[in-house]
Amino acid sequence: MSKRYAHIFNPTCEMEVANGEVSYTPPSHLLKFVQDLEVLPLVYASEEDCVLVCRMPDAEFTDRLSAAGFDLPGFRLIDKVDHLSADFVPSPWGWSPAVAHLLRPLGAIWNDDLKPFFSREFALSILKNLFGKNLPRIINPSRVARYADSLTDVEKLLAEWGKVVIKAPYSSSGRGIQMLRGNQLDINIINKTRSLIKQQGGVMVEPLFEKICDFAYEFKMQKGEIFFVGYSSFSTNEKGQYEGHHIPFDPKSLPKEAYHLWDIGVINAALEELLPALQNSGLAKHFEGYFGVDALVFRDSDSNVRLQPCIEINLRNNMGIVALHLEKHIAPGSVCEFKIISNPSVSLALFDMDLKTNHPLVMDGNKIRSGYLPLTPPKDDTLSMAYLLVK
């Protein structure tokens, strides 16, 4: 008999891990984001699974997804988790002490040995492992992130590099990131940096690169072995926060400088070194499931195009994994934008109505040929939504 999984969307898991408390609650704006997108695991859940939610999705929303070829899981209220059948296996978006406590009626247990692997310091250790492997066009070792545990250290790196990015060791989806395009720390940056150092012991500081494109290597850890499951190509806003994915991944659609690195084998060569570095890192002893490694193609200070193959490791389900599952629903020959929108100028109910009218859904058998489809419920009181736009 195949396993049944109980999924829950907790994209703030890194913050939960950093906090360490089972009672942790995200800041109100992030909590609202989580609640608005809470049904998103339906994309990769099976019909036998369930998705745990605070509010049940309405029939109009689920009917639209069913008509678009999605075989939907069941939905169950989070506060009734102790009523679930004992054969459900807990499957959070990402593990943390808080979510393990929530799912304890299903036998969930937090493994504190996992905590170091959630930090950006782990990604840095994997990147350093790739140096000396004769990888062409890889980032110069002198330009990789450094750990700073004082404001003085941050100021020294700012003086050395000129433009920098300050990142919380434990954060995700563009959260906990401060971009400094000038050569001085203003009072707002100083206060935020001091707060991060107090909360997490330090910050990661790296040069601010001239970005050409973002992409990710997506993996699955299963029974102690790592499998590569695909590439994903995504976009972020000027603050580094996630906006959406391009589906399917097509290297020819990358900017020409990035495609050149693909064409000469640089991106695949880095993958061949990432796999053993990850396999030998000790991660396999403590983790099972999907995870992603974010990468960057950039132009360095000498105008050379280079690859940063391991900016951060998302030790959880991530939007790239969602994108790979969504690809199965797109008709061959069509292309798709998987987007997340937050705080639009009009209500999401009106936004949904406009896209539904201007981009009606066209099916090709059980796959989407073109049109718009919401992946989370668009309501008057929701501030964030995930959706597809297929062409």
Whether 27 and 99 map to the same domain: the answer is yes
Taking alpha carbons only, the member of 94, 102, 59 closest to residue 78 is 102
Q: Confidence class of residue 239 from pLDDT cuts 50, 70 and 90?
A: confident
Is 240's pLDDT higher than 80? no
Q: Give a yes or no: residue 81 inside a domain.
A: yes
Region 160-165 average pLDDT: 92
* Tens-digit pLDDT profile for residues 1-12: 578 999 999 999
Q: Give a yes or no: residue 190 inside a domain.
A: yes
Examine the fold and report which residue of 94, 110, 126 is the final residue of a domain before the chain moves on.
Answer: 110
Largest CA distance in the chain: 61
Q: Confidence class of residue 319 from pLDDT cuts 50, 70 and 90?
A: very high
Examine the fold and report which residue of 186, 207, 228 is the final residue of a domain before the chain moves on.
Answer: 207
Region 185-199 average pLDDT: 90
What per-residue confidence (pLDDT) applies to 174? 63
Whether 24 and 103 map to the same domain: the answer is yes
What per-residue confidence (pLDDT) applies to 1? 59
* Tens-digit pLDDT profile for residues 340-366: 999 888 899 999 999 999 999 999 999
Whether 2 and 100 map to the same domain: the answer is yes
Whether 11 and 99 map to the same domain: the answer is yes
Q: How far apart are CA 268 and CA 261, in angstroms?
A: 9
- With pLDDT > 90 as the criterion, what percentage of the chain qualifies? 88
Whether 95 and 6 map to the same domain: the answer is yes
Take residue 165 and report the two structure tokens written for it.
């990015």
Q: Confidence class of residue 299 from pLDDT cuts 50, 70 and 90?
A: very high
Q: Compare 245 and 179 and report the one with higher pLDDT.
A: 245
Whether 155 and 198 map to the same domain: the answer is yes
CATH number at residue 167: 3.30.1490.20
58: amino acid identity, one letter: D
Q: How far apart are CA 68 and CA 25, in angstroms?
A: 35
Whether 91 and 188 map to the same domain: the answer is no
What per-residue confidence (pLDDT) applies to 122? 97
Q: How far apart are CA 316 and CA 11, in angstroms?
A: 9
What per-residue confidence (pLDDT) applies to 206? 95
Q: Where are the alpha helices (DSSP H) in the chain?
A: 13-19, 28-36, 59-67, 97-102, 115-118, 120-130, 151-161, 187-200, 256-263, 266-279, 319-326, 348-358
Q: Give a yes or no: residue 329 inside a domain.
A: no
pTM of the model: 0.94
Q: Give a yes or no: residue 335 inside a domain.
A: no
Whether 101 and 159 map to the same domain: the answer is no
Tell me the DSSP string of 200-240. HS-EEEEE--EEEEEEEEEEEEETTEEEEEEEEEEEE-TTS
Q: Give a yes or no: residue 41 inside a domain.
A: yes
Region 322-338 average pLDDT: 97
Q: Give a yes or no: residue 37 inside a domain.
A: yes
Report the SS3 class of residue 169. Answer: coil
Is 172's pLDDT higher than 80? no
Number of separate domains in the chain:
2
Region 129-139 average pLDDT: 93
Region 263-267 average pLDDT: 96
Whether 83 and 165 map to the same domain: the answer is no
Is 301's pLDDT higher than 90? no
- Is the CB of residue 345 less than 8 Å from the CB of residue 301? no
* Tens-digit pLDDT profile for residues 28-45: 999 999 999 999 999 999
Q: How far apart are CA 272 and CA 135, in angstroms?
A: 10
378: amino acid identity, one letter: P
Take residue 84 and report the two structure tokens written for it.
């679930």
Angle between helices 266-279 and 120-130 (to 10 degrees): 120
Residue-range definition of the domain harbouring residue 42: 1-110
What's the number of CA atoms in the CB half-sphere (13 Å) around residue 32? 10
What per-residue confidence (pLDDT) applies to 182? 75
Q: Give a yes or no: residue 362 inside a domain.
A: no
Region 294-320 average pLDDT: 95
Strands 50-53 and 74-77: parallel
280: amino acid identity, one letter: N
Examine the fold and report which residue of 207, 228, 248 is the final residue of a domain before the chain moves on.
Answer: 207
Q: Confidence class of residue 281 from pLDDT cuts 50, 70 and 90?
A: very high
Is 221's pLDDT higher than 80? yes
Is 184's pLDDT higher than 80? no
What per-residue confidence (pLDDT) applies to 180? 85
Q: How far apart are CA 64 and CA 345, in angstroms?
A: 24
Q: Confidence class of residue 105 from pLDDT cuts 50, 70 and 90?
A: very high
Measured in residues, the chain has a length of: 391
- With pLDDT > 70 as the criterion, what percentage of the chain qualifies? 99
- Taking the alpha carbons at both ends of the chain, their separation in whole angstroms is 39
Q: Give a yes or no: residue 71 inside a domain.
A: yes
